Structures are given as C-alpha cells and as structure tokens.
C-alpha cells in the first residue's frame, strides 16, 4: 500500500469532512491553501482591493465546487485552477480584459520611457503593476504559475503565438523596470552581462 505524505493524508481527511460541510475542515483547507490561492489572485489582478473581492469569490467557488472534486489532482492544483479561471472571469466582468487583444497587439510592446524613468520598482510585484492587464496575466500565468502558452491562449482567448509575443514584451519591460532594484543589491559584485532586448 502506498503511503501518502502526511500533508496529503491530512488533506484527504479534511477534504472528506469539508465535503460534508464541516466548517473546521473547511477552515483548515483555507488556512493551508490561501497563501498560494490569494497570491495567484493578487498577481493576476494587480490591484489589492479588486483582488480581495475576487479572492473571496474564489474561495466561495472552491467550496461550492468541492462536492465535485474527484481527487484526480491534488487539491491545491485543483483549487489553483479554479482560482485562475474565476479571477479571469471576474476581471472580464469588470472589463479589465476588455482591451486585452488590443493591448497584446499594440500597447505592451511600447516602452513608456517617461514611466520607466520615474518609476522605481521596489519589487517585482510593484513592477508588474506597470504592465498592461493582458501582459501581466500572460507573464504571471507563464513565468510564475507555470502555464504553457497553449493553456494561456485558451484561458485568455488568444493564440499561442500572441501569448509568446506578449511574454517577450512583458519580460523586456520588467527587465528595464527592475534594473534599479538589482543594481542596488549587486553593484558590489558587478554585473557583467545584460542580455539584449
């Protein structure tokens, strides 16, 4: 008999109880998984207040869908998928994605020089807020969450090539925006290489 890791065994026990409506078990699932789920929502939204509203909806949706969870993937993976889908849907509703196709074709490739000069990125999270919604989502989904371009294309309703193009432009902008951050911390050892944009 295969022995499950402790965390997975605990998850299974809690899941069984949570499916029956046991609040304590539900809370344990929330406690264990909310750091990751909330982080995904926050990164995709780029706005704390909107993210907070959507994260609440995400968790309600996770528990609504829980009776349909078949255990074919880990709970965290399953919940993560719900979080991404729900967040993208919610953002569409607030019209954050209304211009995503336009953004992908036109806006994100253009480096806003003025913004770059005045914006001092304190963190990559802050830098991501300087990306257009579409570019941020592609970047977050691909680089942070590990989605493939095909998956991103399906989620966002764009082509795989559009996703790749968007990622390239997003990364170029982030490398520029984040330069001061790394310069400060690595100047002592010196940077000898910078890839061409």
Q: Does 106 bind another protein (CB under 8 A)?
A: no
141 within 8 A of 170, measured Cβ to Cβ: no
151 within 8 A of 85, measured Cβ to Cβ: no
Q: Which residues between 125 and 154 bind another protein (CB under 8 A)?
A: 125, 143-144
Distance CA 183, CA 45 (A): 28
- Select from 10, 39, 105, 151 the one that contacts another protein (CB under 8 A): 39
Sequence-separated (6 or more) residues with CB below 8 Å from residue 35:
none
Residue span binding another protein (CB under 8 A) among the ranges 70-78, 90-98, 118-126, 153-161? 118-126
- Select from 7, 21, 71, 157 the one that contacts another protein (CB under 8 A): 21
Q: Does 22 bind another protein (CB under 8 A)?
A: yes
- HSE of 141, CA atoms in CB hemisphere, 13 A: 29
Q: Does 190 bind another protein (CB under 8 A)?
A: no
Give CB contacts under 8 A, 24+ apart, made by 114-118. 116/176, 116/177
Interacting residue ranges for another protein, rule: CB under 8 A: 17, 20-24, 26-27, 30-31, 34-35, 38-39, 41-42, 48, 51-52, 55-56, 59-60, 63-64, 123-125, 143-144, 171-172, 174-176, 178-183, 186, 191, 193-195, 197
């Amino acid at each position: 008999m295969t022995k499950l890791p402790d965390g997975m065994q605990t998850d299974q026990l809690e899941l069984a109880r949570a499916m029956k409506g046991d609040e304590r078990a539900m809370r344990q699932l929330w406690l264990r998984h909310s750091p990751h789920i909330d982080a995904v929502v926050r990164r995709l939204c780029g706005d704390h207040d909107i993210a907070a509203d959507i994260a609440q909806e995400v968790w309600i949706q996770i528990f609504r869908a829980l009776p349909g969870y078949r255990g074919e993937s880990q709970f965290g993976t399953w919940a993560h998928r719900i979080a991404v889908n729900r967040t993208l849907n919610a953002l569409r509703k607030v019209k954050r994605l209304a211009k995503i196709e336009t953004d992908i074709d036109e806006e994100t490739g253009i480096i806003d020089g003025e913004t770059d000069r005045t914006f001092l990125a304190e963190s990559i999270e802050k830098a991501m807020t300087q990306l257009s919604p579409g570019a941020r989502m592609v970047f977050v989904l691909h680089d942070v969450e590990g989605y493939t371009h095909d998956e991103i294309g399906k989620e966002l309703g764009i082509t795989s090539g559009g996703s790749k193009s968007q990622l390239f432009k997003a990364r170029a902008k982030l490398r520029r925006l984040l330069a001061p951050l790394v310069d400060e911390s690595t100047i002592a050892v010196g940077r000898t290489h910078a890839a061409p944009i």
